[in-house]
Structure 1
Amino acid sequence: MKTDYSKIYIDGEWTTGSSDSQMKNTNPFTGEELVTTQAADKSDLDKAYKAAAKAQVAWSKELPQKKQEILEKVLEVMQENKEFIIDWLVKEAGSTVFKATAEFGVSVNILKEATTFPFRMEGKILPSRQAGKENRVYRNSIGVIGIISPWNFPFHLAIRSIAPAIATGNAVVIKPATDTPVTGGLLFASIFEAAGLPKGLLNVVVGRGSEIGDDIVTHPIPRLISFTGSTPVGKHIGELAGGALKKTALELGGNNNFIVLNDANVDQAVDSALFGKFYHQGQICMSINRIFVHRDLYDEFAEQFIARAGKLKFGNPTEEGAQVGPLINRDQVDRILKDIDATVEQGAKLRLGGQADGNVLEPTVLTDVTNDMPLAENEIFGPVAILIPFDNDEEVIEMANAYPFGLSGAVHSGNIERGTNIAHQIHTGMIHVNDQPVNDEAHMPFGGEKDSGLGRFNGEWVLEEFTTLKWLSVQHGRSEYGPFVNDTKK
């Protein structure tokens, strides 16, 4: 498997990008340069899309067992290079070893699910209102899919589009995030190449958003754009794609709720909240953004949560037992510190943390937060927890639904039916009772409502996204066309 990632990958060849600009890839904790890549420009993107379109024609007709065989080989290559992939996730994405290992594991599950897709491209035969007619419905590949991968879970969130796209007979062009060009893109070129994927079916263009970001969407060849990232960028992609009548699969930002009702088990709720808030430094679309705690349990929950958050090991992600590593870049740190200051100015109490060293922001907790303060209104995307009190179920439901996001969430209650009833009333694509919101299973529908995205990933639901249906009817006898019938033989 190739390990030099200084070039882009087009039509089965590692080639130097044509842009005048270079992309320097650095370790977010140490600042060490990992690799520098000559960036791709619009001409490279055009070559990648044309190569994908040409290769996809034959791939769409390939036998399902051949597609499955390639994906199974991809799985072998991944397993053989597990430690190599984990190492890259740690040094490029700022992942702790725990997070990188978990990300690898969930990626394996995604791939295993995708290996079944070539044999799940099922259609239907349906009756007709017309005598002698048979209606057939075929499930076909779309063609070429453009994939824009994020920097927070780059390997997992790229493969969840790549694997099903390839499995269902499509070709792909991937533009990874500028902070994670290897784990979000170039690693896959290396892996699929080693697995024997035919040339042209997978292409990786490492380039700046300002140079090729719009073009990967507006280029005439791709019929679907899969994007995971922020809501503002997702809306822009949706506008561009809509203008060309392209499909989109968008998994965007969240302002996820964690609700602790007055009959909840506090110890269990604190366990869940610590993981759901601080896993991967809170840089997860599903991470807890607002922790709502019933006033009867507020002080007890706050004391336990603050005490345990203060014991989290943060800093160097390579150290054994590290729980909180660096944010991806300094801009993220400065953005969060600004919101912390503004929230404190409006009356919240800083109870833990609030300081940063380089890109490492220590675990931070604020209490006495209200639902209209900056840290409650904005997606935090960092290791900062805010605790908001509430007095009754109706109030917390209203506060939880106050913002135009709906990705994930959690409700804790000693009464399963009560917790489930509350969960039903939260406008979100995913929600979990007596658990935390960072859940992803390869066979379950993953996606959000409102400003948190469009479409669903995983399992049979991604099959719906990455394929298209064709109605083909067959008239077995002669049709009657009323006054248009040829009566010359009468």
Structure 2
Amino acid sequence: MTVIPLPTASTRGLLIGGKEIPAVSGRTTDDTNPRTGAAFVRVPAAEPADIQLAVTAAQEAFTGWATTAPSTRRQILNDTADLLEERVAEFTEIMTAETGGTRIWASFNIHMSATLIRQAATMATSPAGSVLATDVPGEWSMAVREPAGVVAAFVPWNGPLILCARAIAVALATGNPVVIRPSEDGPITSGYFLADLLTEAGLPAGVVNVVTNDRADAPEVVAALVADPRVRRVNFTGSTPVGRIVGQLAGEHLTPAILELGGKNPIIVLDDADIAYAAAGITVAKFMNSGQICMCVDRVIIQDSAYDALTEAFLAKIATLGQGDPEDPHTLVGPLINARAAQRVAELVADALAKGATLLTGGGDADGAFYPATVLSDVTPDMRIYHEEVFGPVATLFRVDTEQDAVALANDTPYGLSSAVYTENGSRGLAVARLLRHGAVHVNDHSVSDEPQAPVGGVKDSGYGHFGSEWGAEFFTETRWITLADRHSTYPV
């Protein structure tokens, strides 16, 4: 199998301690182009022995990085963000070949990641503690934040650069070294690319490490990384089933974990919504990156009097969508990550149609990694697609009578990641938003809306832990209590 040349290299080694090295076993695995099925890059197939080497390198770099001047950490991150913005064309070429991501999505990944990293850089020089009140005369009582230690970062392929930046930037800013375990379907875009730029910006050797694996070895590699006692934080983004496993492993070893998981995201369209605006927002929320974003809408819930108009406007938008070649700058719906993913989506649609759903557009069999933009109505709870996260370009429409019906349907899922409400009455939208059990609710914007300074995280089965008001700084640090007395105390002995 011929390896397609990369702008940087066609074969990568494990990035450990600032050097690229082969796996201990010498084994490799191929990352393939979803459009062609040909190998895109060959990477090492790590095993637990390689994980030990990576964690050792990170641990050895810990003290030096933790004691690096905060302004230096901030500058390295800001320089990395600058480098990202200089590499839009390079990253776009890599991402379209490696994951089938469209040019629109690749450009968004770069610019959002640069903003995320700059936001994270501010954490390096933020206050690292506080002076506490104390009843002891002549004593200073302080809460002091210090870096937690080695961070294991599990990064998926779907928003690879954004999610890599979100996984490691604040950890680095607050003085922690990281071991990145990128996706098997995107090791360059979800790991190496950002690691390379951090190194170019001056990050010391060993502070960022990248370990890749063959898909068959993933369970033992993940287990080895989470179970290593030197790993003090776990940051995982991915599916809920895998997240449960990672969470259980972290719990067994008392390692704090953040789990950013899947969603079954609803958008509610109330009867006073601007129909054209709502249809445009729903189209973006459903079909950006071919529906392969955890915050993509799956369920469009429409009040009865707006249903026909919204459906007509939505289908009209879909008819104008660019579909197919991700190289085309107008394409919104390109290939899915691989043929398996497209086949799964086709099976969800076939199951729904066999049980009475109505096909409004799209449908049919998968074509390799491609599946067309598809809309279903008359979906019922006995269908798989009612419950399962689609993670592909298929929307389901639901007609409801009242706001209360809309809220009940939106909450009828174990997931709780992101949602949206379209209405021209802000007070009405806010009232509905407060009843939705999702980590994010957007009134008059779509479910994929995101800002780097906002808290991130789902509720229910969509996540465990979150990046809160200080954007994760508290998660990546340990708070210690330190006192200093300026006089001797009187002891009772």
TM bucket, shorter chain? over 0.9
Q: Paired residue for 1:104, among 107, 110, 125?
A: 110
Q: Report deviation, 1:398.
A: 1.3
| Corresponding residue of 1:163 | 169
**Is 2:78 the partner of 1:72?**
yes
The answer to whether the 8 A contact 1:93-1:180 is kept is yes
Q: Report deviation, 1:20.
A: 5.3
The answer to whether the 8 A contact 1:443-1:458 is kept is no
Matched to 2:462, the amino acid is: S
**Is 2:288 the partner of 1:279?**
yes
Identity %: 37
Superposed CA offset, 1:388-446 (max 9, x none): 11111111211111111111000011211111100110011101001101022111111
| Corresponding residue of 2:229 | 220
- Write the distance in 1 (CA, Å) between the matches of 2:25 and 2:349: 39
| Corresponding residue of 1:84 | 90
| Corresponding residue of 2:319 | 310
The answer to whether the 8 A contact 1:121-1:140 is kept is no
Q: Paired residue for 1:257, among 263, 266, 277?
A: 266
1:66-465 aligned at under 5 Å gives the runs 66-208=72-214, 209-355=218-364, 356-371=366-381, 373-457=383-467, 460-465=470-475
The answer to whether the 8 A contact 2:10-2:40 is kept is no
- Write the distance in 2 (CA, Å) between the matches of 1:168 and 1:440: 23
Secondary structure of the residue that 1:170 maps to in structure 2?
A: coil
Query: What stretches of structure 2 of length at least 5 have no aligned partner?
Result: 1-6
Q: Report deviation, 1:2.
A: 5.2
The answer to whether the 8 A contact 2:268-2:422 is kept is yes
Change over 3 Å in CA distance of 1:393–1:372 after alignment to 2: farther
- Write the distance in 2 (CA, Å) between the matches of 1:392 and 1:77: 50
Q: Report deviation, 1:85.
A: 1.3
The answer to whether the 8 A contact 1:343-1:375 is kept is yes
Superposed CA offset, 1:250-307 (max 9, x none): 1100011100111111111101110000011000000001110111111121122122
Query: What stretches of structure 1 of length at least 5 have no aligned partner?
Result: none
The answer to whether the 8 A contact 1:41-1:211 is kept is yes
TM-score with structure 2 length normalisation?
A: 0.95
- Write the distance in 2 (CA, Å) between the matches of 1:271 and 1:47: 49
Q: Report deviation, 1:130.
A: 2.7
Superposed CA offset, 1:426-472 (max 9, x none): 01110100110102211111111111112223772311221121111
TM-score with structure 1 length normalisation?
A: 0.95
The answer to whether the 8 A contact 1:416-1:433 is kept is yes
RMSD of Structure 2 on Structure 1 (CA): 1.6
Q: Report deviation, 1:166.
A: 1.0
The answer to whether the 8 A contact 2:323-2:372 is kept is yes
The answer to whether the 8 A contact 1:89-1:183 is kept is yes
Give the length in aligned residue pairs: 483
- Write the distance in 2 (CA, Å) between the matches of 1:458 and 1:79: 27
| Corresponding residue of 2:3 | none
The answer to whether the 8 A contact 2:272-2:425 is kept is yes
Superposed CA offset, 1:167-224 (max 9, x none): 1100000100100011111112321221221111010001131341211111111111
The answer to whether the 8 A contact 1:295-1:390 is kept is yes
Bigger Cα displacement from structure 2, 66-75 vs 252-261: 66-75
- Write the distance in 1 (CA, Å) between the matches of 2:277 and 2:85: 34
